[in-house]
Amino acid sequence: MSTFTGKEIRKEGFMAGTTEKEKAVKAVQELPPDATFEDAMERLYFLCKVQKGLRQADAGQTVSHATAKKRMKKWLK
């Protein structure tokens, strides 16, 4: 299965200049022939969340590594 990482999406601009629909169609077309609806949904959800995170990072809405570690420690109790 073709998988983009966040770094690749930012590097390539994840098809900058294309519409959201075109991005979705391309992502689904790149799935293997035996992919399920669930595979397609997971792929689209992943890309949506990565793009949201990149927009947040660009807007300065980030946390430090130390803060992230503290949050994870609480979650993993």
pLDDT tens-digit map of 42-70: 999 999 999 999 999 999 999 999 999 99
Residue boundaries of the structural domains of the chain: 6-75
How many angstroms separate the most distant Cα atoms in the chain? 44
pTM, to two decimals: 0.67
Average pLDDT score, the chain: 85
